[in-house]
């Protein structure tokens, strides 16, 4: 069989880019996850939207012909139940986007074990549990994709955020390991945003109280925060057939902060 016969069909930018795809999105209740959900719904995907707070995600899920499910991504039983319910509601799973995440800014001395574990559990163990639970259904899909969300902190940590940086560096290498293990049947890529105008970032900035503890816009050549939709557009590309020859990539969507 030729390489052309093996290649996924390209959409070439015409019409809905996710028509017929069944996608699970975590963290879909706010921020980047919600922006991804709204964009994917516009592009024809049927969605299973997972979050602890599903009220904001529910109308998006219903509009896509999908479902919103309350889940704790750090709890194996909760994840397994939610993924099974998602697969049943959608009739299978073609893709996963892991957008759920938390951050607690603080120096090493100020980061107690509870805070460390919470960030590792949600940011790193969460994607592991979701991907592992979804794997049997992803294996049944012809064009399966995984997109995890790490951070520019995975490339170049800035400020007092050791637990967050460690968790996101873990997500980056976890995704690369998945890409190697699951190829060629399943593509896995990771998006690494810089500072994004989301409720989480606003809350962290307010709580930090110390400008030295968080990146500032002087670190960004584009001199502004990203909008959540700008990150969602990158995730859409990596989920669509337009990225059919891309796996194991770590895409910095960070206004030039890392220049890696």
Residue 160 confidence class, pLDDT cut points 50, 70, 90: confident
- The model's pLDDT over 177-210, given as tens digits with 9 standing for 90+, comes to 999 999 999 999 999 999 998 887 776 666 555 4
Calculate what percentage of the chain has a pLDDT beyond 90: 78
Mean pLDDT in residue range 148-155? 96
Could you give the domains of the chain? 18-251 (3.40.50.720)
Residue 146's Cβ-side half-sphere holds a number of Cα atoms within 13 Å equal to 34
Q: How far is residue 70's CA from residue 88's CA, in Å, rounded to a whole number? A: 15
Reported as a single tens digit per residue, the pLDDT across 83-134 is: 999 999 999 999 999 999 999 888 999 999 999 999 999 999 999 999 999 9
Choose among 245, 255, 202: nearest CA to 224. Answer: 255
- pLDDT of amino acid 213: 46
Confidence bin at 245 (pLDDT 50/70/90): very high
Tell me how far apart the alpha carbons of residues 249 and 190 are, in angstroms, rounded to a whole number. 6
pLDDT at 1 over 90: no
Indicate if the pLDDT at residue 3 is higher than 50. no
Catalytic positions: 164
pTM for the full predicted model? 0.90
Contacts of 253 (CB under 8 A, 6+ apart): 191, 192, 193, 194, 226, 230, 231, 234
């Amino acid at each position: 069989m030729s390489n052309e016969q093996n290649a996924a069909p390209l959409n070439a930018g015409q019409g809905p880019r996710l028509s017929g795809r069944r996608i699970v999105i975590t963290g879909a209740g706010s921020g980047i996850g919600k922006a991804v959900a709204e964009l994917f719904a516009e592009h024809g995907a049927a969605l299973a939207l997972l979050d602890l707070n599903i009220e904001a995600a529910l109308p998006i899920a219903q509009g896509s012909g999908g479902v919103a499910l309350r889940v704790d991504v750090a709890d194996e039983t909760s994840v397994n139940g939610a993924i099974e319910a998602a697969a049943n509601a959608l009739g299978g799973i073609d893709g996963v986007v892991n957008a759920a995440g938390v951050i607690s800014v603080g120096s090493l001395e100020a980061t107690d074990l509870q805070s460390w574990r919470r960030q590792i559990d949600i940011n790193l163990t969460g994607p592991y549990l979701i991907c592992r639970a979804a794997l049997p259904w992803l294996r049944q899909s012809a064009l399966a994709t995984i997109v995890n969300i790490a951070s520019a902190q995975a490339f170049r940590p800035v400020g007092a955020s050791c637990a967050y940086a460690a968790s996101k560096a873990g997500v980056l290498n976890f995704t690369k390991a998945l890409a190697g293990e699951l190829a060629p049947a399943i593509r896995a890529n990771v998006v690494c945003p810089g500072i994004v105008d989301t409720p989480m970032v606003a809350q962290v900035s307010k709580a930090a109280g110390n400008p030295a503890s968080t990146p500032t816009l002087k670190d960004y050549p584009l001199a502004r925060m990203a909008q959540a939709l700008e990150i969602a557009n990158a995730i859409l590309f990596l989920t669509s057939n337009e990225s059919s020859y891309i796996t194991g990539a770590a895409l910095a969507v960070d206004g030039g902060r890392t220049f890696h």
